[in-house]
Chain A
Amino acid sequence: MTGDRGDDKTSVYHHDDQGNPVGQSSHDSEVVSESRVSAYWQANLRFLAALLVVWFAVSFGAGIIFADTLDQYSFLGFPLGFWFAQQGAIYVFVVLIFVYVIGMNRIDKAHGVSDDDETPASTGSNA
């Protein structure tokens, strides 16, 4: 099947016009050493855990479990627990994903596994 894709590669990706160099071999997963992979993965897991703690705290925590307690406080005219359940948690979710995007890009770079400077078609390591 890989042959079928050959034609697509050039037509599908528009990254070449950004003038980026074609993916460098030092970034290929095959070359990344095992200990680096494991360090990267640990950093990733720690970051995910921190984000998921916030995710849980604003939704299940503030919006459900502690909602009755928080309702004693008023925020923007809403009982606070009610606000978290119907507004606040959603705003935090949006922020969380963007923090994730930025944080992961940094972690990727720090561990030399970023896909930023590669055209995706350059390696096709699964093929």
Chain B
Amino acid sequence: MGVQTLTYIFVGLTFALYVAIAVWARARSTTDFYVAGGGVNPVVNGMATAADWMSAASFISMAGIIAFMGRDGSVYLLGWTGGYVLLALLLAPYLRKFGQFTVPDFIGERYYSKAARVVAVVCLIFISFTYIAGQMRGVGIVFSRFLEVEIATGVIIGMGIVFIYAALGGMKGITYTQAAQYCVLIFAYMVPAIFISLLVSGSPIPQLGFGGTMADGSGRAVLETLDGILLDLGFGAYTAGAKSTIDVFAITAALMIGTAGLPHVIVRFFTVPKVSDARRSAGWALVFIAILYTTAPAVAVFARINFVESVNEKAYAETPAWFRNWEDIGLVAWQDKNDDGRLQYRVGAPFAGAPSFSDDRGESGERLMTNATTETANEVYVDRDIIVLANPEIAALPNWVIALVAAGGLAAALSTAAGLLLVISAAVSHDLLKKTFSPNLSERQELLYARIAIAVALALAGLFGIYPPAFVAQVVAFAFGLAAASLFPAILLGVFSKRMNKEGAISGMVAGLVFTFSYIVYFKFISPESNTAAHWLFGISPEGIGFIGAILNFAVAGLVARLTAPPPAAVQDLIDDIRLPSGAGVAHQHD
């Protein structure tokens, strides 16, 4: 069977499964809708959390990013898993004990202030939309490459599926669907990874394989071989980093603190019955996450070797079929600068910006571009996203593996998108409408508004996927930076400091937000030409500045709280109560 038929079958089957689960687990109350009734088994919740956490960025992009960044790619591995430890140890059990529906709920109650709640809602919506745009782009790529439909059609199909199970099932539907999606995505990730590990290193365990020796009989270590290949082409060694230690430190810290503050993951812990379950569930989730996260750097190494070997110095007509397939949708491109008809893969950008193709073909049959050429010897443009998606093709794996990867990529993108949509809808219907503007809303009305909010948010997210704003890639740094500088410190102080009051928390959040926002906007949009280490504060890039933003937040909050009155006695009692595991009721509203 052809790849396309198989892909239709795999994607069709998984989609049918998600819809079936949604119908089975539809929500009947706001408790069902926001926190799945609070009765989810910790292991199932761990799986759902893992799928929620691992987005299209983890599944599709991460191995590719690491493949091209080499050692510096560790920032994502450390950042996204280490942040999870912070979340599990410092936030999850206490937020579960607090037992309400949303993150702004906690901020609003703990800081006894509608203003604080609204600030939290604004942060949350901004973070979630930035994040969701990336998911929808992932859905678009998978559909356009594997099912050969227009990106717009692909995004609309994806939106339809998410709408069915998110709006119908709320958190309950999403939880069980995400658990299924985890199984699909991890299987789809591991199968090609094991195949490729066997192919390159002879080891069936990718985690060990990339430390082993090459299977080609040369007896050389895999990492040494890759270092050698890259040095020959003028790149830096794979195992040596290019970024400064302080920048790597700051980016890792910003990603850690930022991921710990991501609202769609925090709310997952509201769904288990007890505080001890929240802790246990966090442990399981990290086990499920670690399977993928320890495999990704191995895939990165194998794929980089395969990529260079199958492309470099090949004549265009000799390139493997996948090269031309991905060229058709614009994720790889070749500009024959020296007119020798062969692809030279070297260091540096082949031409300015992303490829903008004219309709013409060159002498060798390649797609021509209108981009201005650059001085470098490199002729090959490659979008890092293809590393995982094209990996099975690059390694000449069977068609069913290719189809499986397509289904896995969709599972990763859809599960995260659904989680994000839910927190956006809860923020609108619960925090803005019910808790701020119209407290008299009945539960039935609130549920209706929550569903409407999901539909509106989904439509917006779909628009982002179909017409990706040019700035999407650049604003991803925003999502983590802003979460790090705003939500995380406010929640942490809310649990661990009894003295922290609303004045401190609000001024801390505002200071962290304004600082981080301005720094990123300045270097990414106002003055991109000065975006170099020489101009950065302490040598920290915009990607890592959320770390400084978080420190600023803590400092300002501490200072202001010292100068103003302590929180009222009722709030201090609330903190005492949050700190004790016993007596956690199901998530509910405090009236």
B370 partner residues in chain A, CB cutoff 8 A: none
Asked if A94 contacts B591 (CB within 8 A), the reply is no
Which of B39, B85, B212, B576 is within 8 Å of A55, CB to CB?
A: B85
A11 CB within 8 Å of chain B: yes
B353 CB within 8 Å of chain A: no
Which of A15, A40, A100, A125 is within 8 Å of B273, CB to CB?
A: A15
Which of B73, B276, B590 is within 8 Å of A105, CB to CB?
A: B276
Asked if B274 contacts A29 (CB within 8 A), the reply is no
B329 CB within 8 Å of chain A: no
Asked if A118 contacts B588 (CB within 8 A), the reply is no
Asked if B31 contacts A114 (CB within 8 A), the reply is no
- A77–B585 CA distance with the chains assembled, in angstroms: 50
B249 partner residues in chain A, CB cutoff 8 A: 60, 64-65
B436 partner residues in chain A, CB cutoff 8 A: none
- A34–B346 CA distance with the chains assembled, in angstroms: 67
A18 to chain B, nearest CB (A): 11
Which of B39, B282, B589 is within 8 Å of A12, CB to CB?
A: B39
B590 partner residues in chain A, CB cutoff 8 A: 126-127
B217 to chain A, nearest CB (A): 17
Select from chain B the residue with minimum beta-carbon distance to A112.
B582
B75 to chain A, nearest CB (A): 9
Which of A63, A83, A96, A125 is within 8 Å of B583, CB to CB?
A: A125
Given the contacts A28-B583, A89-B78, A121-B586, A51 and B89 also touching, CB distance less than 8 Å: yes
Given the contacts A93-B81, A93-B290, A82 and B239 also touching, CB distance less than 8 Å: yes
B99 CB within 8 Å of chain A: yes
Count residues on chain A whose CB falls below 8 Å from chain B CBs: 66
A46 CB within 8 Å of chain B: no
Asked if A76 contacts B37 (CB within 8 A), the reply is no
Select from chain A the residue with minimum beta-carbon distance to B282.
A97
A127 partner residues in chain B, CB cutoff 8 A: 585, 588, 590
A121 partner residues in chain B, CB cutoff 8 A: 585-586
- A40–B586 CA distance with the chains assembled, in angstroms: 23
Interface size class of B (residues with CB under 8 A): 35 or more
Identify the interface centre among B89, B249, B279, B581: most chain A CB within 10 Å of its CB: B581
Chain A 115-126 per-residue mask, 1 if CB under 8 angstroms from chain B, else 0: 110101111111
B236 CB within 8 Å of chain A: no
Asked if B581 contacts A114 (CB within 8 A), the reply is yes
B32 partner residues in chain A, CB cutoff 8 A: 8
Chain B 81-115 per-residue mask, 1 if CB under 8 angstroms from chain A, else 0: 11011101110010000110000000000000000
Asked if B85 contacts A96 (CB within 8 A), the reply is yes
Which of A7, A44, A89, A114 is within 8 Å of B82, CB to CB?
A: A89
Interface residues of B in 213-267 (CB under 8 A from A): 213, 221-223, 239, 245, 248-249, 252-253
A73 CB within 8 Å of chain B: no
A35 CB within 8 Å of chain B: no
Select from chain A the residue with minimum beta-carbon distance to B87.
A97
Interface residues of A in 71-92 (CB under 8 A from B): 71, 76-79, 82-83, 85-87, 89-91
Which of B66, B239, B252, B294 is within 8 Å of A91, CB to CB?
A: B294
- A114–B577 CA distance with the chains assembled, in angstroms: 13
Chain A 53-77 per-residue mask, 1 if CB under 8 angstroms from chain B, else 0: 0010001100111000001000011
Asked if A85 contacts B39 (CB within 8 A), the reply is no
B443 CB within 8 Å of chain A: yes
B286 CB within 8 Å of chain A: yes
Asked if A5 contacts B586 (CB within 8 A), the reply is yes
A103 to chain B, nearest CB (A): 10
- A124–B586 CA distance with the chains assembled, in angstroms: 7
9 A-B interface contacts by CB (under 8 A): A4-B29, A29-B582, A29-B583, A37-B576, A37-B579, A64-B78, A64-B249, A86-B73, A120-B585
Binding site for B on A (CB under 8 A): 1-2, 4-5, 7-9, 11-15, 23, 27-29, 32, 37, 40-41, 44, 48, 51-52, 55, 59-60, 63-65, 71, 76-79, 82-83, 85-87, 89-91, 93-94, 96-98, 100-101, 104-105, 108, 113-116, 118, 120-127
Closest 10 CB pairs of A and B: A77-B211, A124-B585, A85-B74, A123-B583, A12-B39, A86-B297, A1-B589, A97-B283, A125-B583, A12-B37
Binding site for A on B (CB under 8 A): 29-32, 37-39, 66, 71, 73-74, 77-78, 81-82, 84-86, 88-90, 93, 98-99, 207-208, 211-213, 221-223, 239, 245, 248-249, 252-253, 273-276, 279-280, 282-283, 286-287, 290, 293-294, 297, 443, 574, 576-577, 579-586, 588-591
11 more CB-based (< 8 A) A-B contacts, given A12-B586, A90-B293, A90-B294:
A4-B29, A12-B39, A29-B577, A48-B89, A59-B78, A77-B212, A77-B222, A85-B71, A86-B74, A86-B297, A126-B577
